[in-house]
A and B are shown apart, each in its own frame.
Chain A
Amino acid sequence: AQTVTQSQPEMSVQEAETVTLSCTYDTSESDYYLFWYKQPPSRQMILVIRQEAYKQQNATENRFSVNFQKAAKSFSLKISDSQLGDAAMYFCAYRSVQGAQKLVFGQGTRLTINP
């Protein structure tokens, strides 16, 4: 079974600075999807960024980018120019391409933005 590990329960960063959230995963599959979700106090999970494992190029979405290291099974999220609205829980998640379509989540990282 696949597992996802987020080793940083909490992180903080100064507004306008850059922060990197870590995620590692374990799988025997060669093709899969990886995601970062943001969960503000409203509880709704919001998709931040998505990466297909067969793509070597790292995904980017405006201020958000990933460092995908397939051999190391690492998938970190970099947030540039941090804003107060970025404060939330961030979850890394894995999904198989074949078979079960469920998302496997890490335990989450609480990100605090200091003004």
Chain B
Amino acid sequence: GAGVSQSPSNKVTEKGKDVELRCDPISGHTALYWYRQSLGQGLEFLIYFQGNSAPDKSGLPSDRFSAERTGGSVSTLTIQRTQQEDSAVYLCASSPSGRGGYTFGSGTRLTVV
């Protein structure tokens, strides 16, 4: 597609439930990033995929968070046993390579009630 697509746009879930957030990067972009933006805060790095290399998971806040990227394209961020502090906007970005400019999606706003 023309841009980075994220779904769903908004998600409300009950505490303790699992959620999956999806990111469709720009076709041909080998690098994909996930960031979290809590209310009124800057963006916090979560995870980075580059081609077939092992992902950089150094930003994942707990073992409840995981992400995968299938076929070098679509990525899914999974949050297990959601907590209220997980409420945030989750932004995905892709890049032609690890060194190129980023293009961001419009994010998924997750609300845990």
A100–B56 CB distance below 8 A: yes
In the complex, chain B residues whose CB is within 8 Å of the CB of A25 = none
Q: Which residues between 57 and 113 of chain B lie within 8 Å of chain A, taking CB atoms?
A: 58-59, 89, 91, 93, 95, 98-99, 101-102, 104-107, 109
Considering the chains assembled together, what is the distance between the CA atoms of A108 and B89 in angstroms? 15
B99–A101 CB distance below 8 A: yes
In the complex, chain B residues whose CB is within 8 Å of the CB of A43 = 89, 91, 106-107, 109
CB distance from A43 to the nearest CB of B (A): 4
Majority secondary structure of chain B interface residues (helix, strand, loop or mixed) = strand
A44–B101 CB distance below 8 A: no
A103–B91 CB distance below 8 A: no
Considering the chains assembled together, what is the distance between the CA atoms of A106 and B42 in angstroms? 6
In the complex, chain A residues whose CB is within 8 Å of the CB of B104 = 44-46
CB distance from A7 to the nearest CB of B (A): 13
In the complex, chain A residues whose CB is within 8 Å of the CB of B52 = none
Question: Which chain B residues have a beta carbon within 8 Å of chain A's beta carbons?
Answer: 31, 33, 35, 41-45, 48, 50, 56, 58-59, 89, 91, 93, 95, 98-99, 101-102, 104-107, 109
